[in-house]
Amino acid sequence: MYTVTHVLTALIICLLLRGRLPQRSLLLFALGSFLPDIDHLYMHRFLLHSIFFLLSSLAVSRLLLKSFALTLGVLLHFLEDMLASNFNTLLYPITLIDLGLGLWWLYSTWFNLAVTLLFASLLILREGMILKHRTLQDVIRFTLMMLASISFGSAKASEILLGYVDPILVEGARFTSVTILLTAYFKPYRRDENT
């Protein structure tokens, strides 16, 4: 799955659990769903897509954060990678074994648009964004989240604009989009600032 799709699915779960769990736990969960893809910056799916990273996140969660939300986000990421690809690095560097289902259609434009539309629908219908919260700040936040949600198309955009896929541009767009998504989503609504 694309990095932004990992984060969107975590945010969809956060939307469904909002009010039932502390905001801090939801933020850690969403952050955990993103962390393994930091290895896109050097060698995708080796160091941070392994059982050793999962165990490290568990130790950090238990000892420092006193919450397992970060580890649950990493587990969500791993589960999605197992569905979408062959996910052969779980036991790296000990061995490479194909553990995934290879459902490559999870990388399709249509699937990613469906995830984006589900996220937008939940923001509008469940959170009342744009319907109830129509301040300029809310409209800007919603617009930024929607633009960031479509960063899975950055490779195609690079190919169209430059004539080739620029990996630095693509990864920069994806990481910027995740930063925008997390910042815009977890910025409290005015009604939450008083609580």
Does residue 162 sit in helix, strand or coil?
helix
pLDDT band at 119 (very low <50, low <70, confident <90, very high): very high
| Integer Cα distance of 15 and 72 in angstroms | 16
Flag whether the pTM goes above 0.75: yes
pLDDT (average), residues 105-130: 90
Mean pLDDT over the full length of the chain: 86
pLDDT (average), residues 28-34: 95
| Integer Cα distance of 123 and 156 in angstroms | 27
Going through 76-185 in order, the beta strands assigned E by DSSP cover none
What is the model's pLDDT at position 116? 93
